[in-house]
Amino acid sequence: MTRAFEGIKVVDITHVLAGPFAAYQLAVQGADVVKVEHPDDPDQSRGSGSDRHLNDTHMGTGFLTQASNKKSITLDLKTPAGVEILKKLVAGADVLVENYRPGAFAALGLGYDVLSAISPRLIYCSISAFGQDGPRGQMTAYDHVIQSTSGIMATTGTADVNPIKFGSPVIDYATGTMAAFALASALFQRERTGKGQRVDLAMLDVAMMMMSSHMSGYLRNGAHPKPSGNKHPHATNSCYQTKDGLVMLGASNVRQQARLWRALGREDMVKRNNYERDADHAREEKLLEEILLTKTADEWEKFFQDRHVPASRVRQMREAIADPHLATRGVIHRFPDGAPGIDGAFGVPLAAFKFAHGTPRIDTPPPRFGADTDTVLAELGYSAGEIAGFRAARVV
């Protein structure tokens, strides 16, 4: 079945995580994505990850994460010929995504005004740390710097140990996901208006949106969210030690807490509302600490889930990936026989959802650096001699 973005052409001039992940989400839904990199300066993610050999060959796991279904070309946009090639590429494209310093593309003669004149239906998306304008517009940052700037880092950790950054680059991937949504929205809007769009997406804005409920609370009464570690304002909605590990309880609402206490044979602890839960928090927590030490984390997970009380043993990633349930979700795509430039099996994330038909899928593995340069240039109408000349002049 036809996927959502089949027939859509995307020029991906991004690096590291957020931008490439945005283009990747379109690619797995059928978009024709051409990744553009400088011939002497590969995407930083090509040299990052847990496999040093792959890092050395520009195929690091940081790159593999978000490069399937893409074509790779090299192009020096600081040369007049490189600029002209990109303009030719954009003329036949629907979307351009870039995540360089604000103003950098305009300085090269590749700003929105110039490229939208070439292709009025173009969706031109710029991803940056702080946005294209404002007092911080020219500042640069990575995921962890935005965690620090936004206040999200100050809400993470425990009362005694804070601030702490997230263990994964969540701002990058949230930004990539938000960018994919923005691009999908702009494409849908274009179907109605026939007009292209300028998308200005800032990592800081995404980080603030990820704290939406905290932000609304603060804006209402000045209540700053405090780091609470693995605990929650409700004792039945927190993490506890068991015989052999940790279990996270998720009896969040009043109905669930009632089910939890009744399952434990403690009808006397059932509360009628959240105010009663707040008032009795210390006693509830102490009692749960004692009770949960009597079984293993796996036993408690089954016990509570069988009684429709959310709960889970705290797992490591290796356990989560080995869970048979994950295989039914299609979140991971595996390459059992490796791929060009990669010896041995590997796997990559695919998408966080499934469709009944035309679902996201991976058709081609992550490309080697510049693997498709000649093919893409030939499709643009350049002759073999012209391509050889570009290569000799280090344009590609």
Tell me what pLDDT residue 133 has. Answer: 95
Whether 379 and 248 share a structural domain: no
Whether 165 and 54 share a structural domain: yes
- Is residue 284 situated within a structural domain? yes
Residue 272's contacts (CB-CB under 8 Å, 6 or more residues apart) are 254
Of 270, 292, 314, the residue that ends a domain is 314
Percent of the chain with pLDDT over 70: 100
Whether 168 and 64 share a structural domain: yes
Whether 253 and 104 share a structural domain: no
Of 314, 340, 374, the residue that ends a domain is 314
The answer to whether the beta carbons of residues 63 and 49 sit under 8 Å apart is yes
DSSP letter assigned to residue 52: H
pLDDT band of residue 327 (cuts 50, 70, 90) is: very high
Residue 202 has pLDDT above 90, yes or no: yes
- Is residue 220 situated within a structural domain? no
Average pLDDT over every residue of 5-32: 98
Whether 249 and 179 share a structural domain: no
Average pLDDT over every residue of 9-27: 98
- CATH number of the CATH domain containing 47: 3.40.50.10540
What integer best gives the mean pLDDT of the chain? 97
Residue 104 has pLDDT above 80, yes or no: yes
Whether 26 and 147 share a structural domain: yes
- Is residue 222 situated within a structural domain? no
Reduce the secondary structure of 213-280 to three states and give it as a string.
Answer: HHHHHHHHHCCCCCCCCCCCCCHHHCEEECCCCEEEECCCCHHHHHHHHHHCCCHHHCCCCHHHHHHC
- Is residue 60 situated within a structural domain? yes
* pLDDT tens digit sequence for 257-284: 999 999 999 999 999 999 999 999 999 9
* pLDDT tens digit sequence for 339-389: 999 999 999 999 999 999 999 999 999 999 999 999 999 999 999 999 999
* pLDDT tens digit sequence for 44-71: 999 999 999 999 999 999 999 999 999 9
Helix (H) and strand (E) counts in the chain: 18, 11
Whether 68 and 91 share a structural domain: yes
CA distance 281 to 232: 10
Q: Of 83, 80, 69, which is closest to residue 21 (Cα–Cα)?
A: 69
* pLDDT tens digit sequence for 275-315: 999 999 999 999 999 999 999 999 999 999 999 999 999 99
The answer to whether the beta carbons of residues 77 and 108 sit under 8 Å apart is yes
Residue 234 has pLDDT above 80, yes or no: yes
Whether 157 and 294 share a structural domain: no
Q: Is the dihedral of CA 209, 214, 217, 223 positive or negative?
A: negative
- Is residue 372 situated within a structural domain? yes
Whether 275 and 341 share a structural domain: no
- CATH number of the CATH domain containing 264: 3.30.1540.10
Of 262, 292, 314, the residue that ends a domain is 314
- Is residue 102 situated within a structural domain? yes
Whether 194 and 271 share a structural domain: no
CA distance 205 to 199: 13
> Based on the structure, what is the number of domains in the chain?
2
Average pLDDT over every residue of 333-341: 97
- Is residue 301 situated within a structural domain? yes
The answer to whether the beta carbons of residues 168 and 157 sit under 8 Å apart is no
Q: Which two tokens stand for residue 151?
A: 């206040």
Residue 231 has pLDDT above 80, yes or no: yes
Whether 205 and 240 share a structural domain: no
Q: Could you give phi then psi for residue 200, rounded to 5 degrees?
A: -115, 105
- Is residue 353 situated within a structural domain? yes
| Domain range for 37 | 9-210+328-392
Whether 333 and 307 share a structural domain: no
Residue 210 has pLDDT above 90, yes or no: yes
Q: Between 91 and 224, name the one with better pLDDT.
A: 91
pLDDT band of residue 1 (cuts 50, 70, 90) is: confident
